[in-house]
Amino acid sequence: MEKNHLTVNILGISLTLKSKETPEHLKQIIQYFEGKLDEARGNLVTVDPCKLLIMAGLTITDELLKERNTKIKHIEPGVDPEELEEFTARMINKIDESLMGH
């Protein structure tokens, strides 16, 4: 499958994302992340880009863990929780790789 490229500028940092995902999906990721940056800006008195990025990352991580814990509590009978955890870790790695341009 061909990799798609999307150049973005976040907090003055320009980077090109390379992914097998569609450009539309990559744009959704960026829009979501920028929304979290805006939330972080509203919660911090500083405009330090590193602090904003960390706060946005922590907010997204919190959402992910809450969602994961909710799904684990509602696992269908017969589904191995360890397999589900491994699957989730693989998906997170794929997302990370896409965002890092690998």
0.75 surpassed by pTM: no
The Cα–Cα gap between 12 and 64 comes to: 26
pLDDT at 77: 66
C-beta neighbour count of 92 within 10 angstroms:
13
Condensed to tens digits (0 to 9), the pLDDT of residues 3-32 reads: 888 899 998 889 998 889 888 988 999 999
The residue extents of the domains of the chain are 4-100
Farthest CA pair distance, the chain: 49
Q: Quick check: 102 pLDDT over 60?
A: no
Q: Which two tokens stand for residue 99?
A: 């965002």
Which pairs from 82-86 meet CB under 8 Å and 24+ separation? none
